[in-house]
Amino acid sequence: MTDTADHRPIRTFHPRRGRMSSRHHDAHAELWPRFGLTVADGDRTPLDLARLFGTTDPVVLEIGFGMGDTTAAMAAADPGRGYLGVEVHTPGIGNLLALVGEKDLTNVRVAHGDAMELVHRLTPGALDAVHVFFPDPWPKARHHKRRLIRPDNVALLRERLRPGGLLHCATDWPHYAEAMAEVLAADPGLTPAGADRAGRPETKFERRGHQAGRPIADLRFQRR
């Protein structure tokens, strides 16, 4: 989706860089050439996932992986699938690469840039699952257009799933959970698949939500 006033994409995230530790710098320097992918705005070159991973294993897209602990844990427990994580926070990218090295993970690829720009490069039916865990809730009404889970984005994500593929969202903001549920239920190509966490590890954002007394909502929908 673009802003028709100036034709720039409507971002679903705050641009963030932050400072990387020496551990993150070292991991980035060593592992980015093998495991990294830069996402350029406006690039519509089809992305060949089999070539990217070097296998034809099913692929999970992890949008906004934060510091990457959850992505690394799920990839380690699920070696039969590839995990493509996309993030804009550079320390998080460095940390996930460090975890890839420390855990000797070969089924993870790390993308830097706008997740929806990356999704545009994927072919229909390319993904086994999409994870959207604790995205920015953009709580102010005037910012709701920036939310990741909105009808146009959900339609695109659903199209990239194989039939039966899973879209799993989680949030600790009740109003966003209600909005997510409404958007997901309204998509004609999705069907509910349960409201449990289904093996999703606890995240840092989830712990913060618990500490603040906010309920955690997991929303799982399958492509028809």
Q: Give the residue numbers of the binding site for substrate.
A: 140, 172, 203-206
Q: Which long-range contacts (CB under 8 A, 24 or more apart) does 45-51 make?
A: 45/121, 46/121, 46/122, 46/123, 47/118, 47/121, 47/122, 49/82, 49/84, 49/122, 49/126
The whole-angstrom separation of Cα 129 and Cα 162 is 8
168: β partners: 131, 220
**Catalytic status, residue 69:** no
Write out the DSSP string of 69-108: HHHHHHHHH-TTSEEEEEES-HHHHHHHHHHHHHHT-SSE
Annotated binding site for S-adenosyl-L-methionine: 62, 87, 114, 136
Annotated binding site: 62, 87, 114, 136, 140, 172, 203-206
The whole-angstrom separation of Cα 93 and Cα 42 is 22
- Identified catalytic residue from 136, 152, 187, 218: 136
Which DSSP state fits 206? H
- The H-or-E segment that residue 23 falls in is helix 22-35
The whole-angstrom separation of Cα 111 and Cα 39 is 7
Q: Which residues are catalytic?
A: 136
